[in-house]
Amino acid sequence: MTAAMHVFDSGAALAEGLAGAVASALSAAIATRGQACIAVSGGSTPKAFFKALSGKAIDWSKVTVTLVDERFVDPDSDRSNERLVRENLLVDAAAAARLEPLYYPASTAEEAAAAAAKQTAGIGCPFDVVILGMGGDGHTASFFPGGSRLAEALDPATPRGVMTMEAEGAGEPRLTFTFSSLQDARFLVLHIEGNGKKDILAKAEAPGDEAEMPIRAMLRRASSPLQIYWAP
């Protein structure tokens, strides 16, 4: 699947441009189906985008927000993607949206993943919008090189849902939607900033093993065209 590159002059322009595109996609979904669903990623890159999106004139009461992946940490932790979303996206007009978290208090990450899979089963078939990030090692979602269940996560035959992942570079155990859950989003985005990330992307676009740079799975096998939003 061919990816499309959208280039912006600055991080601020990127945040606003992506927010506008996502707002249009969510509004179109609401107009067509009466509701919309979006899965977003964590990290430092999305903050400005979240803040821009939160102010868009969308019928937020008809939007469900969930996470592409999450750390197995309490939502009060500064490592929590849920906390990032609550504090930066689900504010102002967007406070009316419904959040479906991936973290649930449980004795193990596996139990939390099972709960999340059950709670999110009714959304995202496919998602209207998925916003992916990319790490310096070429991971996306919690598809880490060397991940404990990477082959399973990337296998298109693995059912939609949430599963666990552990990896040396991941820190805590992770909860992540599977490749099959994300790859057919109606609007599938890779959101990256900086020349370093652009260089990593170029490496991922070159021949090589998906297990070494899992973002390659999205670049090569996603059934929806990947829209790359980048600024230096």
**Closest C-alpha among 154, 223, 157 to residue 186:** 223
Say whether pLDDT at 116 is over 70. Answer: yes
pLDDT per residue over 50-80, tens digit each?
A: 999 999 999 999 999 999 999 999 999 999 9
Which tokens sit at 60? 């937020």
Q: Which sign does the torsion angle of CA 155, 158, 162, 165 carry?
A: negative
Q: Cα(first)–Cα(last) distance of the chain, in Å?
A: 24
Which tokens sit at 184? 């057919």
pLDDT per residue over 161-218, tens digit each?
A: 999 999 998 999 999 999 999 999 999 999 999 999 999 999 999 999 999 999 999 9
pTM for this structure? 0.98
pLDDT interval class at 122 (50, 70, 90): very high
Across the chain, mean pLDDT equals 97
CA 79 to chain centre: 16
Q: What is the DSSP string of 36-77?
A: EEEEE--SSTTHHHHHHHHTS---GGGEEEEESEEESS-TTS
CA distance 219 to 211: 13
pLDDT per residue over 25-34, tens digit each?
A: 999 999 999 9
In this predicted structure, what is the pLDDT of residue 42? 96
Helix 47-54 / helix 81-88 crossing angle, nearest 10 deg? 40
Say whether pLDDT at 1 is over 90. Answer: no
Say whether pLDDT at 82 is over 70. Answer: yes
In this predicted structure, what is the pLDDT of residue 169? 86
pLDDT interval class at 2 (50, 70, 90): confident
